[in-house]
Amino acid sequence: MTATTVDATTLTGSRSRRPDAGTLTVYAYVYAVLVFLVLPSLIIIPMSFSPKGYLEFPPSGFTLHWYMEYFQDRRWQAATILSFQIAFLTVAATLLIGTPVAYAIVRGRLLAKPLFNMLLMGPIIVPHIAIAVGLYLFLQPLGLLGSIFGFVIAHTILALPFFVFTVASALSQIDHELELAAMSCGANRPRAFFEVTVPLILPSMMSGSLFAFIISFDEPTISFFISSIRDRTLPRRMFENIEHSLTPELPAIATLLTVLSILLFAGMVLIGRWDRARRQSANEQ
């Protein structure tokens, strides 16, 4: 009885114990960083509802006029549709190219694998302006500037490292003997991969695909270089709006893009939870 009382008292004391000064400092620093990152978006959102024809904060009123302007403007809609087309095709190209590359990195015996990984990280390390100039010089003689195919090539180069390393991380946690067991039962290597390995890495492939979509849809620098006069992506048109007519229409579009990014991030979180629940269920069985 006494031991139980002591344990209860100790537990209550540990629960009521206040964090020390060091812990509070860390918490304050973390929340300050979060506020610093989120504050620009929080300012943009109310500006998109301003009734004035120029940017103001706080807004003097409330209107949905600028959202209606965006949805009714054919140029904005054409740029948005083009960005969606490029993003979906980039996801498809990243899946087709990135999955074998990730498999080769983890399962294969590549010569100079560290050098290969370093080159693969090039689009992350090299400034996008340098990549944009190189892609312009590469695509211009081929007549691909402003074409969907040219955009997909450029955006796939940017998205590939994120997809490959995401899938490679999942592959490294899967026992290679599972494929060998399937092959010993009569399956060839491609069938063993698609029927055994792919279901296990599917959540990571989905997360990598969402990364590829976001990178393609929001990419401004390279799109600015390889766009044509007629075919321009949404980020390119947003830059032109900043230069020529800075109205609350731009914050309205930025707000919509923020909502889209939040939805995609929520999708990643749900995929992660689904993967953990699936693995837990498999372990229990």
Residue range 79-106: mean pLDDT, rounded? 88
For position 11, what pLDDT does the model report? 47
Mean pLDDT, rounded, of the chain: 78
Residue 54 in tokens: 């120029």
Architecture of the domain delimited by 75-284: Orthogonal Bundle (1.10)
Nearest Cα neighbor of 261 from 211, 209, 223, 220 is 211
- Pick the residue with more confidence: 187 or 92? 92
Q: Dump pLDDT digits (tens) for 145-165.
A: 878 888 888 899 888 888 888
**Domain spans, the chain:** 75-284
Whether the per-residue pLDDT at 3 is higher than 60: the answer is no
Distance, CA of 272 to CA of 266 (rounded, Å): 10
Count Cα neighbours of 182 within 13 Å in the Cβ-side half-sphere. 15
Distance, CA of 63 to CA of 51 (rounded, Å): 6
For position 252, what pLDDT does the model report? 82
Q: Dump pLDDT digits (tens) for 22-50.
A: 777 877 878 788 777 777 777 777 777 77
Residue 22 in tokens: 């060091």
Q: Lowest mean pLDDT: which of 107-111, 124-128, 216-220, 265-269?
A: 107-111
Distance, CA of 268 to CA of 166 (rounded, Å): 12
For position 284, what pLDDT does the model report? 60
Whether the per-residue pLDDT at 168 is higher than 80: the answer is yes
